Chains A and B, each alone.
Chain A
Amino acid sequence: GENVEQHPSTLSVQEGDSAVIKCTYSDSASNYFPWYKQELGKRPQLIIDIRSNVGEKKDQRIAVTLNKTAKHFSLHITETQPEDSAVYFCAAGDDYKLSFGAGTTVTVRA
């Protein structure tokens, strides 16, 4: 099955700085790569996603890049704000199956 590794497990950034989270996956058949944000005690929420035929996607302060050859994808958050503090999960899969990384706890310091 698919194996998704996510780094780092914790990330502390100064407000206004950028945050980068990296993930690798093992199954070359995976074609969908979403990122979810989970605030403490809440359910996961989709923040951005990308398909395998696209190399980069941006939505305001959030961007995701995908390198299909190397089987890795990354989340970039620019101009971080206190409300960006949360656990972020990457995932990889196909139309029905989704495998998640272990998560990155992001703390934005004021």
Chain B
Amino acid sequence: EAQVTQNPRYLITVTGKKLTVTCSQNMNHEYMSWYRQDPGLGLRQIYYSMNVEVTDKGDVPEGYKVSRKEKRNFPLILESPSPNQTSLYFCASSSTGVANEKLFFGSGTQLSVL
């Protein structure tokens, strides 16, 4: 089954404790992206990757890191999480980009930073 898998589904952590949210897709997609969703703000793009070893900033990259060492994986790293990063995070992928192509979203990761 074609899917984007995010882990964990829920995460509670404390300020400053490094964490990684994993994202994996099994569709051989070149494009992957991370979004955060906050009430009243919609989805905001954090980082995206056009292919292996090619990443770029979205609208809200501060406080986040990403890497794309393999085509299928695109982890999101918070090296020193802060309470303002409490949010619902979605990973998404598509064949080559967002235009004219369906974005496949993961199930989401609800992160709480205390």
* Residues of A with C-beta under 8 A to B33: 98
Partner of A101, one of B42, B48, B50, B58: B42
Kindly state whether residue B74 has any CB partner on chain A within 8 Å: no
Which residue of chain A has the shortest Cβ distance to B41 in the bound complex?
A102
Query: Can you list, as one digit per residue, whether each of A79-109 has a CB less than 8 Å from chain B (1) or not (0)?
Result: 0000000000101011111111111000000
Q: A96 to B100, Cβ gap below 8 A? A: no
Cα of A34 to Cα of B100 in the assembled complex, Å: 9
When distances are taken between beta carbons in the complex, the residues of chain B under 8 Å from A49 are: 100
**Which of A31, A89, A103 contacts B99 (CB under 8 A)?**
A31
Other-chain residue from B35, B48, B100, B102 in contact with A51 (beta carbon distance below 8 A): B100
Enumerate chain A residues within 8 angstroms of B59, measured Cβ to Cβ.
Answer: 1-2, 97, 99
Number of B positions contacting A (CB below 8 A): 26
Complex CA gap A9/B42 in Å reads: 11
Q: Is the CB of A97 within 8 A of B48?
A: yes
List B residues 81-111 near A (Cβ within 8 Å).
Answer: 90, 96-100, 102-103, 105-108
- For B60, the closest partner residue in chain A by CB is A1
Q: Which of B44, B50, B98 has the most CB atoms of chain A within a 10 A radius of its CB?
A: B98
How many Å lie between the Cα of A32 and that of B45 in the bound state? Answer: 15
- Which 10 pairs of residues, A with B, have the shortest CB-CB distance? A32-B99, A43-B105, A100-B42, A95-B97, A100-B43, A102-B42, A95-B99, A98-B98, A46-B102, A103-B42
Residues of chain B touching chain A, judged by Cβ–Cβ distance below 8 Å, are 31, 33, 35, 40-45, 48, 50, 56, 58-59, 90, 96-100, 102-103, 105-108
Apart from A44-B43, A95-B96, A103-B40, what 16 extra A-B contacts exist at CB < 8 Å? Answer: A32-B98, A43-B105, A43-B106, A45-B105, A46-B102, A46-B103, A49-B100, A51-B99, A89-B42, A93-B98, A96-B97, A97-B48, A99-B45, A100-B35, A100-B43, A102-B42
Q: Give 28 A-B contacts (CB < 8 Å), ordered by A residue.
A: A1-B59, A2-B59, A6-B42, A32-B99, A43-B90, A44-B43, A44-B105, A45-B105, A51-B99, A91-B43, A93-B98, A93-B99, A94-B98, A95-B98, A96-B31, A96-B56, A97-B45, A97-B48, A97-B58, A98-B33, A98-B45, A98-B98, A99-B44, A100-B35, A100-B43, A100-B44, A102-B40, A102-B42
